Amino acid sequence: MSGKGKRAAGAEVAAMNKKKLKGTEEILAKVRRLAERVKAEPEVQKSLAELNLPHACREVVDKDADAVLGEVETAILMVAASILRGEGFTYTLPNRSKGNQLYVPELDRIVLKDSMSHRAFANTATCRKAVITTRILQLVHELCRKRIHVTKRDLFYTDVKLFEDQGNSDAILDDLACMLGCTRSSLHVVASEKGVVVGRLTFREDGDQIDCRRMGVGGKAIPPNIDKVDSIQSDALFILLVEKDAAFMRLAEDRFYNQFPCIIITAKGQPDVATRLFLKKLKQTLRIPVLALVDSDPYGLKILSVYMKGSMNMSYDSSNLTTPDIKWLGVRPSDLDRFNIPQQCRLPMTDEDLKTGRKLLEEEFVKANPEWVKELEIMVTTKVKAEIQALSSFGFQYLSHQYLPLKLQEGDWI
């Protein structure tokens, strides 16, 4: 009967927690203070130039269609000039290899160092690449001129004969972004979307006025082309970043954002580029805190790391894709005992999980935050993980009626 005893104890803790809950305004006090602090922070998006790094580094920025058209035309004019000078048809591009990447702690981002490579047409080793580069420059020019967006796959299919493999056109597209100094989405080549958003947010998308407070339970699909999003407005105190679809649905159906003014976002698992761009844009425009609700396992933290510091592959684009300042609200390893999550809802970590967890302990973005280290150490020591849904063991609406309000009331984020 010890199982029954434990379940009773769990119910007791839940009841006790419920008693602790104050009125909405009191619950919101701590978040309000955090939100004020975030708003008061000087708006410096620290730039590379200000840092005076020993070597020249480069990042890309968002540019509008006209600016990209200008860059493409300049690039071609430079090639023409090079030919006229008798130096031949050659592109000069930043090197994107790992050896040319640099983690800048002051920025908490990966940037590209200054190594450049040359791509000559009259060289058997680079001839094909020079041709593909020219073709993609032309296609990007067309996209920007027509103001339309396509996926990488569409781009590949415009000239399968030349590109042969999508890997070729993808890689050179990334090269071009670096060369032209603009983000990949500025080139009007976008990722397909999978994120959704709901809550205290209105914006304009391609001229349409979108009101995320009136998006039912399904929410609004996050658009693939962030440059068509403007007029962002919100009275939210914070952004709630949710790992999983199911938790998003719970919060949307309970209209969590009506009681606690917030914007709820999920990428349904591994974050895609569109969702990362959208979060970044919201955070930059509204300057409100981002609180994350992820599974208590290494994978949940991995997801946070992609939002916060990006992936190696897109390092040159990191400043546009990353939202460095995300608070880890839950579900944290220490929550399991604190909220008395039943033993049956705690899962043993696999060897793979443990390896990932230990590797995370070595990562800069974890080490930079001693409280994260502490939590992660609890995880790899107890060798136990839990999903957000484990909270359902106290009732379907425990997440929105008790767990999150209590977390907010206590300012329990790290």
Which candidate, 325, 387, 354, 337, places its Cα nearest to that of 34? Answer: 325
**At its nearest, how many Å lie between a copy of itself and the CB of residue 112?**
29
**At its nearest, how many Å lie between a copy of itself and the CB of residue 305?**
24
Site of tokens 């205290």: 200
Q: What are phi and psi of 108, to 5 degrees?
A: 60, 40
- For residue 235, say whether it is annotated as part of any ligand binding site: no
CA distances from 357 to 313, 327, 379 (A): 21, 19, 8
**At its nearest, how many Å lie between a copy of itself and the CB of residue 2?**
11
**At its nearest, how many Å lie between a copy of itself and the CB of residue 214?**
4
For residues 244 and 407, which CB has a smaller minimum distance to a copy of itself in the complex? Answer: 244
| AA letter at 150 | V
Q: Which residues bind a copy of itself (CB under 8 A)?
A: 3, 7, 142-143, 146, 148-151, 153-161, 190, 192-194, 196, 205-210, 214-225, 228-229, 245-246, 249-250, 253-254, 268, 342, 344-345, 387, 389-393, 395-397
For the record, the structure tokens of 216 come out as: 């039912």
Residues serving a catalytic function are: 157
Alpha carbons 345 and 336: distance in angstroms, whole number? 9
Q: Is residue 110 within a helix (H) or strand (E), and if so which, with residue range?
A: strand 109-112
Alpha carbons 111 and 100: distance in angstroms, whole number? 9
For residues 53 and 249, which CB has a smaller minimum distance to a copy of itself in the complex? Answer: 249
Which candidate, 334, 404, 386, 412, places its Cα nearest to that of 18? Answer: 404
For residues 42 and 207, which CB has a smaller minimum distance to a copy of itself in the complex? Answer: 207
For residues 19 and 214, which CB has a smaller minimum distance to a copy of itself in the complex? Answer: 214
The Cβ of residue 311 has, within 10 Å, a number of other Cβ atoms equal to 16
- For residue 26, say whether it is annotated as part of any ligand binding site: no
Q: What are phi and psi of 5, to 5 degrees?
A: -55, -45
CA distances from 132 to 12, 141, 199, 207, 285 (A): 66, 14, 44, 35, 37
Binding site, annotated residues? 243, 295
User: Which residues belong to the annotated binding site for Mg(2+)?
Assistant: 243, 295
